[in-house]
Structure 1
């Protein structure tokens, strides 16, 4: 692909993305107005033109032909796969049942450490992959709301991502997935959706959505029995690609809850080039080789003396831990729970 054609594609791609954002921002009352119909028609025609531009096939760049550090891949991520933070007021849930469950299970465990590490740090940067709707069990919302952090939310599920946009988070977002390798790739996303007859909180089920082919913990078996799946193709990029597209060189908090791809993301990340201060990753409890790997990268396994809750591993960069956080307090509630269940 020539540079001229590539630049043409980037321009058209960026224009299409901005039009899509405009459509999402429209209120429901505008849906049948003539101006909306005209905008949608123009956007659709532009999309067709974009997809049929001679010899401009961006898929060549997201099927592994170039590494995620390549400037052309980074340009594609920046212009096509990143939505800027919302400037509108938050539109968070007021449903009491939702709010009760949105701060339960692993959220309490992780929140305990987040507040000890970052309570006095303003203007940090987070990455939350597996962001769901941007509120339910969110590990980053407190950092954004209370401390003024910016960040990146990555969510491949289309319905979940639409909810992120509607909640008006003050972070960048991407309707894509993290690649477990150093190359972009395409994957089949399995969207798990609760059946209508189930009376519980549906977002628990949405959290079990995953890439087709990965091995999940047996604890999800009950979820799949009560849910129905749908399948669609998603584009995945190395975490490095997103960060370089945003010109980010330090990530204060990285949260990975991507149902089976965490190990690949961690092992393919350029730890020497980009600073990450704290990592929370959902990993199989028996995968202690990841502890060795992270220690080799200069990280301390923070919750090594606790019984792992929900298979959450917490790693802190040695430089941060031994200088600032050696007196970090464990979560006594989960110590007690481990003792009772032992």
Structure 2
């Protein structure tokens, strides 16, 4: 009964912002919500049914949903939680959950938003809580050139209480959004897939939502192979590797695990689709895969800071030029981040994209490089990837 009441409240809160077609889907929430969950324990070596989505046929689920056969769906399908454990380099145990039924839902499905909101998102720390930072200098905006450009070049230090999404949030200290949160009252969503990093994120007391997942490369949730150590080798001669990310050219499978990724729209829908003043996308070479999966008609993103220096190295159908042309087609103007040169790749690390209406509203112009405080904590090479 309690589960039904919670679903009813959820429907009431969203009633004014949904279409008639979506109302039918909300009916499914009440039915699927009454199913309860089956939890299945798996070892990673036993995840041999990922390819067939653990026996749940998404084409069948979609066919029943389209026909409105919710009672039949109730008898045939379960929102099963497949649970398994991984061990990191520090011999710490972490849990990973897979929910194959969710892979059958569209990005804007209300039941999917309900699950993310109530079972996956961790709420922000109170605004009056103290940060628990190993390196307090990281919250100073002068020490973060990306955050500095967002406020000086774009928003002219005027935007208070903004909203961000940071994908690839690492330990939530080495973070573009931290100075915006600490000094300008911003909040948002910190997305981090690596369990060890996420464990640290929970200790930092960020005043933003946390979610232990990855942004997906499809229009619905999906299972992805994720390398918890490195998404691939960048330079064979120099033996340089990217940080953790989608698995590409790894020769070893010992650090590769199956995780479930979610579309950006799904995560935003869980918070009632807020305006995103800044989207930070740093996913070790697979940025374009995420960008092209977004339904841009269903999100409101003003500014993006996108890592581009290894575009095309690990994801072969990507490149800096492809990303720039794509963002231009979506109505964004590119600017150059200041003080952003990466000597390892010989390129700028990130591109700054500002939607045309925001360029006009804030009179955004390119600014020249300027000196910033030399903060040794901005070097992320010391990370133990877990």
- Tell me which interval the TM-score lies in, with the shorter structure as reference length: 0.5 to 0.7
Change (3 A) 1:312 1:121: same
Equivalent position SS for 1:275 = coil
Distance (Å, rounded) in 2 between the aligned partners of 1:299 and 1:291: 9
Deviations 1:244-267 (A, max 9, x none): 110123100000111132112111
Structure 2: distance between partners of 1:91 and 1:332: 28
Match of 1:78 among 112, 117, 137: 117
* Aligned counterpart in structure 2 of residue 6 of structure 1, from 17, 29, 32: 32
Matched, 1:172 2:172: no
Contact 1:62 1:235 in 2 (8 A): no
**Alignment match, 1:27:** none
What does 1:98-109 correspond to in 2, within 5 Å? 98=135, 108-109=144-145
Contact 2:146/2:337, CA 8 A, preserved across alignment: no
The answer (yes or no) to whether the contact 1:192–1:229 under 8 Å persists in 2 is no
Alignment equivalent of 2:101, drawn from 61, 67, 79:
61
Pick closer, same or farther for the CA change 1:308–1:62 going to 2, 3 Å. Answer: farther
Q: Please give the alpha-carbon distance, in whole angstroms, between the structure 1 residues aligned to 2:33 and 2:139.
A: 45
Instruction: Identify the match of residue 260 of structure 1 among 268, 285, 290.
Output: 285
Residues 70 and 250 of structure 1, relative CA distance in 2, 3 Å threshold: same
Structure 2 residue 323 is the aligned partner of structure 1 residue 293: no
Runs of at least 5 residues in structure 1 that lack an aligned partner in the other structure: 14-53, 194-203, 217-223, 335-342
User: Residues 292-338 of structure 1: CA distance to partner in whole angstroms, max 9, x if unpaired?
Assistant: 1111111001129998654311100111113313344232459xxxx
Q: Alpha carbon RMSD of aligned pairs, Å?
A: 3.4
Which residue of 180, 185, 189 corresponds with 2:226? 189
- In structure 2, distance between residues paired with 1:229 and 1:122: 45
Higher helix share: 1
Query: 1:61·1:184 contact (CA, 8 Å) conserved in 2?
Result: no
* Alpha-carbon shift at residue 210 of structure 1 (Å): 0.8
Unaligned residue ranges in structure 2 (runs of 5+): 1-26, 39-75, 81-98, 231-239, 312-318, 343-347, 373-386
* Separation in 2, partners of 1:171, 1:249: 14
What is the rounded CA distance, in whole Å, between the counterparts of 2:107 and 2:336 in structure 1? 32
Instruction: Output aligned runs, 1:100-139, within 5 Å.
Output: 108-116=144-152, 117-118=154-155, 119-136=157-174, 138-139=175-176
Shift of 1:233: 2.7
- Equivalent runs, 1:306-321 vs 2, <5 Å: 309=342, 310-321=348-359
Contact 1:191 1:229 in 2 (8 A): no
